[in-house]
Amino acid sequence: MITLTGLQKVYQGESGIVTALDNVSLAIEQGEIFGIIGKSGAGKSTLIRCINLLERPTAGRVIVDGQDMTALSERELREARKSMGMIFQHFNLLSSRTVLENVSFPLEIAGVSRNEREKKVIPLLELVGLADKRDVYPAQLSGGQKQRVGIARALASQPKVLLCDEATSALDPQTTESILALLKDINKKLRLTIILITHEMHVIKAICDRVAVIEGGHLVETGKVFDVFTNPQSLTAQDFIKTVVNNKVPEALSAVLSKTPTAGGNLVVRLSFFGEATNEPVIAGLIRKFAIDVNIISGNIDHLQDIPYGTLLMELSGNEKDTEAALHYLQDLDLRTEVIGYVARHAHAAS
């Protein structure tokens, strides 16, 4: 559906040349929700604005639905942009127009008659849950309602692609959740391709199928959300995931932890469970099979795209032979086992 090849964007700043995007290439499939995450200044907003050529790339190609956007004339580009809706962090509504008139505005610009505009817009207001707000002005709406108007307006021209630039950043957590649920519903009902820019990993976790991680104008990682969450390859992705998955080793444990085995020491491991493995009685199996004690330090279970995902930090205490055998047993199971370190037996990590 969308292919970016060798995308580069260079600005002339006050202190010299600034490279906002550097050789970015990725492919986005029809009908998926694709997330692009990065810290402030990483280049993610520049990237999304290059897709509809609100920013013209310095180099590279942007192919949308088989059409090379970078090769179009200004007139052709205006026409092509009709297939791409866009919503923004700060809504950008017209304060002097009602909800109905705000949503109708793109159709008015396109020369659609008043009657036809209303026929197209009323179903959109129903879709975003604002049918009863058609004659209300933006000043009378909550932040979430304003963003729903923005979404309806972006859908007015029946686009194939919806670009979301930090669409939930100005909203409180509960409202963010409702807007993300709406976007997911729209994606399912309209088979719309959604590209979502954010700096919040919980947004990616909530609705995206795949994600690209951008840092300093470079794509540092791309993959299915589940794969990136459960096995992040880049430091940037790892940092983002820490904000929503608590894998941190407690400070009290870190203070007594050694990376090398200690005589008579206990082994500290982290287990990561996926899918059906979350239902397996791993701890009970360890205790039955080996002469060891198991102390659970911390643990949690969450869901990624309806797939159970859990982590468990625990301490194995026993003689060296039994502890090693228990570790090999864990490593042979359908889960990820990570050796965190060793702690002197008298220290007891769990305490």
Predicted confidence (pLDDT) per residue in 44-61, tens digit: 999 999 999 999 999 999
Pairing mode of beta strands 2-13, 16-28? antiparallel
Question: Which pLDDT value is given to residue 277?
Answer: 62
Distance from C-alpha of 14 to C-alpha of 1, rounded to nearest angstrom? 37
| Domains of the chain, first to last | 2-242 (3.40.50.300), 251-343 (3.30.70.260)
Predicted confidence (pLDDT) per residue in 151-186, tens digit: 999 999 999 999 999 999 889 999 999 999 999 999
| Residue 337: strand pairing partners | 271
pLDDT band at residue 148 using 50, 70 and 90 as cut-offs: very high
Distance from C-alpha of 47 to C-alpha of 218, rounded to nearest angstrom? 10
Q: Average pLDDT, stretch 316-333?
A: 88
Strand order in the sheet with 67-68: 16-28, 2-13, 59-64, 67-68
334, pLDDT greater than 80: no
Angle between helices 143-155 and 173-190 (to 10 degrees): 20
